Amino acid sequence: MDFEVRVAKSKENADRILKLGKEVEKTIFEGENPSIVLPVRGKRNVVWDKDAGLLSLGDSTSKRYFINVAHAKKFMQTMLVGAFSKQLLDEDIHASLREAFYSLKHTIKGSEENTFDEQKESDDVFVDLEVALAVLRDQLHINADRRGVAAGDVVIKDRGDLINWSKLGSGGWAIPGNVEELEFKDLNADFILVVEKNATFDRLHEDKFWKKHNCVLIGTQGQAARGIRRLIHRLNHEFKLPVYVFTDSDPYGWYIYSVIKMGSMNLAHASEELGTPDAKFLGLTVSDIYKYELRGAAIRAKDVDLRRAQEMLKYPWFKHKEWEAELNLMLKHKIKAEQEALAQRNLKFVSDTYLPEKIEAKNFLP
């Protein structure tokens, strides 16, 4: 993002915080009890928005009062967190949730009371703030933990640097925790391929898969971190690129896919900005284990896998005949497999045969 645009954006968000503060101040001067209205978070207010294809927050709201023994501390914390974010925006710097916690934690003068005792308290209030302001906390300069790697024919601009993802050797570009300010300057790709395992990223990267098949390759290193999910969302929305997700053939891998696609319970308030409902599941499926003769590399499913598969059958977002068939196949044969199982055919089987066949045939799960 250009400097001027970034400054304007920061100012806009700082002003939203200021407005919230001014309203509270005004109420106090009017002799009223200040309050903030917040959507209720947590499982009981998470709904499956079938039309949007996202897990979202429902309509329940709650009011937090300043003069209320049960709310007073939380109210004070909300003001502190707001002031902290505003300062970050004013100074044009960023902080992690952990740094924010330590910055904000202190003993209140003349008391033995701490502003915050546990990081969970400040984390929760940052979520409150992003919900109350309808702004991603990333845009309030709070960084998530970083994870993930990207490669492909893409040029981005980030902190003044022009970075070409196709020229970064075996390493690739380390995806930061906050991708709000990066701009896509040039992109030449037909789709985004998201892979769960580092080893799979390395295999496809060494085999020049992204070059041969004209795609952007993103490695999540397990569960996709917030920065990765936001990056996938942006690539999908800004370029209308299809997104294919490739994970292990087990409930954990399928969960990774579902979080990328429709968001998570925890971050349901941000699904619209983090989720990618267009995403399709490429594999591994349980049928792939049979179709691609990977039985010798399959693993016996554990009880926890079977329990998770049973649960997934009940989720409305997995209510598709294709997913039901796969989940039932797993429950019947009690097997699972890793992405690397494809190496049993041969090392390049995944790059030369499996992925091209699946993509060509559009053999995806919804």
Q: Which residues are catalytic?
A: 102
Per-residue binder mask for its own copies (CB under 8 A), 242-271, x = binder: ------------------------------
Residue 159 binding its own copies, by CB under 8 A? yes
Compare residues 25 and 99 and give the one whose CB is closer to its own copies. 99
Compare residues 46 and 150 and give the one whose CB is closer to its own copies. 150
Q: Which stretch binds its own copies (CB under 8 A): 6-14, 197-205, 232-240, 269-277?
A: 197-205
Q: Which stretch binds its own copies (CB under 8 A): 59-67, 139-147, 245-253, 278-286?
A: 139-147
Residue 98 binding its own copies, by CB under 8 A? yes
Q: What is the 3-state secondary structure (H, E, C) of 110-150?
A: CCCCECCCCHHHHHHHHHHHHHHHCCCHHHHCEECCCCCEE
Closest CA to 122 of 73, 64, 67: 73
Compare residues 181 and 250 and give the one whose CB is closer to its own copies. 181
Residue 1 binding its own copies, by CB under 8 A? no
Compare residues 202 and 272 and give the one whose CB is closer to its own copies. 202
Residue 6 binding its own copies, by CB under 8 A? no
- Using CB under 8 A as the binding criterion, the count of chain residues that bind its own copies stands at 58
Least distance CB 235 / its own copies (angstroms):
15
Residue 167 binding its own copies, by CB under 8 A? yes
Compare residues 145 and 311 and give the one whose CB is closer to its own copies. 145
**Cis status, amide bond into 347, omega within 30 of 0:** no
Closest CA to 134 of 37, 226, 270: 270
Least distance CB 74 / its own copies (angstroms):
21
Compare residues 54 and 182 and give the one whose CB is closer to its own copies. 182
Question: Which residue in the set 6, 234, 280, 348 belongs to the binding site for its own copies (CB under 8 A)?
Answer: 348
Distance of CA 101 to the CA centre of its chain: 21
Q: Which stretch binds its own copies (CB under 8 A): 26-34, 71-79, 150-158, 310-318?
A: 150-158
Tokens representing 333 are 């044969």
Residue 229 binding its own copies, by CB under 8 A? no
Residue 343 binding its own copies, by CB under 8 A? yes
Residue 22 binding its own copies, by CB under 8 A? no
Residue 328 binding its own copies, by CB under 8 A? no
Least distance CB 129 / its own copies (angstroms):
18
Residue 302 binding its own copies, by CB under 8 A? no
Least distance CB 232 / its own copies (angstroms):
15
Question: Which residue in the set 103, 266, 287, 353 belongs to the binding site for its own copies (CB under 8 A)?
Answer: 103
Q: Measure the CA–CA gap between 342 and 325, rounded to whole angstroms.
A: 22
Compare residues 73 and 348 and give the one whose CB is closer to its own copies. 348
Query: Which residues are near its own copies by CB under 8 A?
Result: 93-96, 98-103, 105-107, 143, 145-147, 149, 156-163, 167-178, 181-182, 198-199, 202-203, 206-207, 221, 296-297, 338, 340-344, 346-348
